[in-house]
Amino acid sequence: MTKEFDYIVIGGGSGGIASANRAAEHGAKVAVIEEDQLGGTCVNRGCVPKKVAWYASKVSDAIHRYGPGYGFNAENVTFDFSDFKKAQDGYVSRSRQGYFNRFDSNGITLIEGRAVLKGNQKVEVNGEIYHGDKILIATGGRPKSLNVPGKELLDNSDDFFNWETLPESVAVIGSGYIGIELSQVLHGLGVKTHIITIDERPLLNFDADIIAEWQKMNEADGPELMLETAVDEYREVDGQIACYRDGQEIARVDRVIQAIGRVPNVEQIGLENTAVEIDEMGYIAVDEGHETAEKGVYAIGDVINRIALTPVAIRAGRQVAEYLYNNAETSEIDYSNVPTVAFSHPAIGTIGLTEDQAREIYEDSEIKVYTNRFFSMYASAAWHREPNFFKLVCVGEDESVVGLHGIGEGVDEMIQGFGVAMKMGATKKDFDSVIAIHPTGAEEFVTMR
């Protein structure tokens, strides 16, 4: 007998969970299908354990780099990776349990197994057929793999979170979010780290001036950065992994992490049994309201070609549920001015257009750029000079702020509020009208001249 639901969500990651809970809160009978761990990439092998690791590396910085300058004796301090793993895994486990509890309170049915679409709003799991009046595909993505000799020697970002010991040395292949964040965590925890990338600079989607500042800091005290370098072979040599380019060894390390991007999980879920289409990039094609070519079937998150960030998937999932079950006017969301942070050391934050993007859209005469360069008080008081850099990109006679970028201590926590201001159409004059909080880094955004 076919089991009936109002709403079937395929994928128990952040976006799918958010959509399921919101639909259930509005009275829908909801099922979530998940073949792996509830919580998806973010909770289990992404932003949550990554942030815990980032905090650990910041603690290391505070002890070894800044502590002595503040008068703290940092001699004979040890780091036990196994104790750290207990803390990290415990936090992840508690976060995951919270999802189970929420499902129970909202009356959501969790179905464990792989979902296969069968058409006509039907889904098969473990031989059972389920019918959903509406269906959401939120199957997320997975790490992309290198196709080079020796690829079997490599780890990816998922593997990293299962390490039981830290290596003495590591090479991180790739310089996007994942590559930069993992490399800086490992460096901060005392691992000799190399960043190897084919790109001319790291974090290509961030403002070029901001990344130039990061590179200066990295040269002074960071992992070794190898730009415009493609590794074309890996070999096991004396118990280590040798990285080769054009037959020449360029690095030899204990472990290699491939962090070259992610691909959507669209295989083996029965899309061929539906009218759902795949675009030229391999993502599920959706309209502005996240509906696929199969009526009543929606898709959100990393499986569609939009911004691949957890809060974006959550927002999209909730909006689809509001549209379907709470009479919202639309299932669309606004993908502009999304604040985001790369958890490097120090953190990099960005909202809106980079300067280069603005110049592609507007005439140079319409653009005014403001910058502030200063030294972190936190670092400077400890006899270190850590340069920070903040930037506003403004457009038009009223100088509307279309881009906000910063690198420095605390940037990760300060830019959310500026995101609200930019969503409301704030101008440079509006920024100037705010009395600064002193002494903080955030005040630099409202004191630029």
Q: Which residues are catalytic?
A: 438
Residue type, position 321, single letter = A
Distance in angstroms (rounded) separating the CA atoms of residues 285 and 277: 6
Amino acid at 55: Y
Locate 184 and state its tokens: 């800086």
Cα gap 167→114, rounded to integer Å: 35
Radius of gyration of the chain (CA): 24
Cβ distance 173 to 258 under 8 Å?
yes
Determine contact, residues 418/351, Cβ cutoff 8 Å: yes
Residue 428, SS3 per DSSP: helix
Helix (H) or strand (E) holding 7: strand 3-10
Determine whether 152 is exposed, middle or buried from the number of CB atoms within 10 Å of its CB (0-12, 13-18, 19+). Answer: exposed
Q: How many CB atoms lie within 10 A of CB 12?
A: 29
CA–CA dist 23, 89 (Å, integer): 30
Give long-range contacts, CB 8 A cutoff, 24+ apart: 382-388.
382/65, 382/66, 382/67, 382/68, 382/69, 382/70, 383/69, 384/65, 384/66, 384/69, 386/217, 386/346, 387/213, 387/216, 387/217, 388/213, 388/346, 388/441, 388/444
Size of the chain in residues: 449
Report which of 216, 207, 185, 205 is spatially closest to residue 375, judged by C-alpha positions.
Answer: 216
Distances (CA, A) of 233 to 149, 154, 175, 397: 5, 11, 19, 54
